Amino acid sequence: MSLLATRIDLDAIAHNTRTIKAMVEPAALMCVVKADAYNHGVERVVPVMDEAGADAFGVATLAEARRVRTLTDKPVLAWIWALSDDLPVDVELGVPSLAHMRVLIDDPTPRRIHLMVDTGMNRSGIDEAHWAEAFELAQNAPQLEVVGLMTHLACGDEPESPFNDEQADHFRRAIDQGRAAGLELPVNHLANTPATLTRSDLHFDMVRPGVGLYGLEPVAGRAHGLIPAMSWVAKVTVVKPISKGEGTSYGLTWTAPADGFTAVIPAGYADGMPRNWQDKIEVTINGHRYPQVGRVCMDQIVIWLGDNSRGVDIGDEGVIFGAGGMDATELAERADTINYEVVCRPNGRTERTYVGTGVMAERI
């Protein structure tokens, strides 16, 4: 293993995909693999999800779609694109505005599209005042096959929020209007991971989970038998004594409370560990947690070993988060963020490695 790595458990990916697939049937499962499969690596993750039950794949950008397109024969949907982009013919497109619709209408190329309707998030999507026009344009464009409508929940991670029901009502109204305009709309979808896991009434014809496929719960306190797939690990590079009252790292913001030892872990903000994670991390070595102390540097952090009674030594593996250590959700809570961001953080000199095969392996 290199000094710093993410270890991706492909068996966990397979388990999570099968678990969610069984949960949502008969709705179809679109696996969201944007941002390089949430930083887990599309080249290895997509084939596993494909085998484990994915019906389609979703990404943000066209570049991501082209990459995923080489890995599966199943539909690939991209929903962020510019009016001037060179549009691939073998990728389904989300249509977020009338301007995007007009670009497609002016192009005779046959395409499969998903009309994005804004139901209250006020981000991407066609506003309700323009739904009728969009539906008419789509109905009158013979080169366009409208797969269905899609929208996104603003408060999906709050299952009891009444705004989820308001958005769902708006979405149903959009579907009714679209069908009244002559569109078949066979596959409509709004459920992200939290709605997929907690609101079966919002599954519609297809769901679009993301973070749950990688084993992370999107709603605090809920558990659905998912297995986190990513561990961020590093080799201890230095162990050295420190005297009571001595400081460590830039600014000497921490001083040793007693004579003892520190260890150095080769991960810093150049590798995706923000400086404001200072004092929020606990690195697990040989089954015991040790607090990170002092400033997070570009290349390194320091951890406090106390008297080092457990004999931590150079070359031992430290778990920053993941299997055997603090999980991404706990770290997210400490860092005042979400576990989505935590798993997207490891980068720079972090080497991605894999364990397991993802081939019909059951873990629980």
Active-site residue set: 34, 250
Secondary structure of 107-144 as H, E, C letters: CCCCEEEEEEECCCCCCCCECHHHHHHHHHHHHCCCCE
Q: How many CB atoms lie within 10 A of CB 162?
A: 9
Across the strands, what pairs with 103? none
Cα 156 to Cα 190: distance, rounded to the nearest angstrom? 10
Secondary structure of the chain as H, E, C letters: CCCEEEEEEHHHHHHHHHHHHHHHCCCEEEEECHHHHHHCCHHHHHHHHHHHCCCEEEEEEHHHHHHHHCCCCCCEEEEECCCCCCCCCCCEEEECCHHHHHHHHCCCCCEEEEEEECCCCCCCCECHHHHHHHHHHHHCCCCEEEEEEECCCCCCCCCCCHHHHHHHHHHHHHHHHHHHCCCCCCCCECECHHHHHHCHHHCCCEECCCHHHHCCCCCCCCCCCCCCCEEEEEECCEEEEECCCCEECHHHCEECCCCEEEEEECCCHHHCCCHHHCCCCEEEECCEEEEEECCCCCCCEEEEEECCCCCCCCCCEEEEECCCCCCHHHHHHHCCCCHHHHHHCCCCCCEEEEECCCCCCCCC
